[in-house]
Amino acid sequence: MEAKELIEKIKENVIQGRINKEDEGFDEGLDGEPGTVELIEEAIKTDVDAEQMVINGLTAGMEIVGARFESGEYLIPDMLASAEAVGAAMDLLAPHLEKSGVKSRGKFLIATVKGDLHDIGKNIVSIMLKGAGYEVIDLGTDVPAEKIAETAEQQKPKFVGLSALLTTTMREMENVINTLKDKGMRDDVKILIGGAPTSREFAEKIGADVHCADAFQAVEYTNSIN
């Protein structure tokens, strides 16, 4: 396959949420056809430009997924399937992007706050940011404010993303911001918050820079000020 055709097929398989050839996808007749991983592997072997695979394949595919999600055509499991396909692709592409001298757009520190074990939304944001060219430092779930602040102090990220799915844990986001203030680091990072109970009003109240309703808004915001 030509490079342009391979990249187009990568994009289509991201839209279909197909990681590999065993996945069925949303449309009929795709079972057994090469999925995102197989197409990425073929593209790597034939020296297709890694950055173009990310921009015109993975990112372009997820932009369409985002539009379908916002219109209601795709649900969260559909978006998650596509995000997982991008994540698998980025694992393969990471060393090739480094080798070709593609620079990171900056570090993004992300965590689900203390007391909260939910990670689906956080994981989708992480994958989307990796696909957009950011170096993501994912601390996982149930992360204390002090650990987030200490990691920010060590890694010096441009952005800190905080996730919570419970009303009982969303207040912990304010603790993180206050801890960053206490360490004199608040002005050095942009803080994004997200999760079902959060809102733009809540972000303003606790002193976060922005509220993101989904992963696409997180990428749009980081790109807009980068």
pLDDT number for residue 105: 85
Per-residue model confidence (pLDDT) at position 137: 96
Sign of CA dihedral 72, 78, 83, 86: negative
- Which domains are assigned to the chain? 3-99 (1.10.1240.10), 107-224 (3.40.50.280)
pLDDT for residue 49? 92
In whole angstroms, what is the distance from residue 179 CA to residue 197 CA?
22
Q: pLDDT tens across 114-151, in order?
A: 999 999 889 889 988 887 889 899 999 999 999 999 99
Is the predicted pLDDT of residue 15 greater than 90, yes or no? yes
**What is the predicted pLDDT for the residue at 98?**
76
pLDDT in tens, 173-189: 999 999 999 999 999 99
pLDDT grade for 64, boundaries at 50, 70 and 90: very high
* Contact (Cβ atoms closer than 8 angstroms) between residue 189 and residue 180: yes
Render pLDDT for 185-215 as a digit per residue (tens, 0 to 9): 999 999 999 999 999 999 999 999 999 998 8
Q: Residue 141: what pLDDT?
A: 97
Distances (CA, A) of 203 to 34, 49, 109, 198: 43, 39, 18, 7
User: What percentage of the chain exceeds 70 in pLDDT?
Assistant: 100
Burial of residue 172 (CB within 10 Å: 0-12, 13-18, 19+) is: buried
Q: What percent of the chain has pLDDT over 90?
A: 70
pLDDT interval class at 70 (50, 70, 90): confident
pLDDT score, position 133? 82
* Residues 43-62, mean pLDDT to the nearest whole number: 92
pTM of the predicted protein model: 0.80
pLDDT computed for residue 25 by the predictor: 87
pLDDT at 132: 82
User: How high is the pLDDT of residue 59?
Assistant: 87
Q: For residue range 158-175, what is the model confidence (pLDDT) as tens digits?
A: 999 999 999 999 999 999
